[in-house]
Amino acid sequence: MEDFWKKLSEAKRRALLSDYDGTLAPFVEDRDEAFPYPGVIERLSAIRQSDTRVVIVTGRSAREILRFLPTDPPLEVWGCHGGERFLPSGELHTLPLTSAQRAALERASEIALALLPERRVEKKPLSVAFHLRGLSYDIGYQLKELLDTLCDCGLGLMPFDGGLELRILSCTKAMAIETIIAEEGDAAMAYLGDDLTDEDAFSAIKGKGLSALVRGEWRPTIADVWIIPPEELLSFLDRWIAASR
């Protein structure tokens, strides 16, 4: 870490990339109430003011994140696992779906709503997420069996912490990270994440920046360091501010 802070303090360009749910905000049963840890928004704003590019890379839709992290100007957000890119200027670029993919996602929603309450079926611009936290294993297994039949035309059923998601296989957080790395060149950068869906992002930044697992409980990971939120997360952000100055 000391080597990283030294590089950060000497760098001409910096980029802080982070997942949202479980990383900057705790998991809650109602995803509409998943607000960030107290102090996160203020620290992200201060980091931006210290010549750092701040980017959120999330499975949520890009515009949804702006409600939880209101800043002026808005943050850059890669939503839907890299399928959307929202720029601070207000531009939104979205990967197009084929007609077969749209039909499959709509059918997946119908299947899930026969098993789950509506609040547990999250329709996104490029995917459908099924939130299973707190439900029996049998329900999750039954849902997976039914949805596996839809995994063609470029779609895949992927696990995340607390559920399953049917989404475009070509949309990955690694794609977003690789694009940012190409744009930033030799900038000092880090990626913060908590979920299994963040492992491809950790892999993409390996050797080019710092990867940090932000999670209350340890799990196997290829990340470089482990940060326990919220105290260690806030300390990390404070250290970033200090090193940038």
CA distance 71 to 129: 27
Q: What is the pLDDT of residues 178-199, one digit of tens each?
A: 999 999 988 999 999 999 999 9
- What is the third-level CATH fold of 2-51+176-244? Rossmann fold (3.40.50)
Q: 65 and 81 in contact (C-beta within 8 Å)?
A: no
- Compute the C-alpha angle 87/203/215, nearest 5°: 80
Strands, DSSP E only, in the chain? 14-18, 52-57, 76-79, 84-86, 92-94, 121-123, 127-131, 155-160, 163-168, 188-193, 210-214, 225-227
DSSP string, 164-176: EEEEETT--HHHH
The pTM for the full model equals 0.88
The DSSP symbol for 17 reads E
Residue 202 Cα distances to 7, 69, 105, 149, 158, angstroms: 19, 23, 28, 30, 17
Q: Phi and psi dihedrals of 177, rounded to 5? A: -60, -45
Residue 115 Cα distances to 121, 124, 135, 140, 208, angstroms: 10, 19, 11, 9, 44
Within 13 A of 121's CA, how many CA atoms are on the CB side? 15
Question: How confident is the model at residue 29, as a pLDDT?
Answer: 80
**Per-residue pLDDT tens listing for the chain (245 residues):** 999 999 999 999 999 999 999 999 998 888 899 999 999 999 999 999 988 999 999 999 999 999 999 999 999 999 999 999 999 999 999 999 999 999 999 999 999 999 999 999 999 999 999 999 888 989 999 999 999 988 889 999 999 888 999 999 888 999 999 999 999 988 999 999 999 999 999 999 999 999 999 999 999 999 999 999 999 999 999 999 999 98
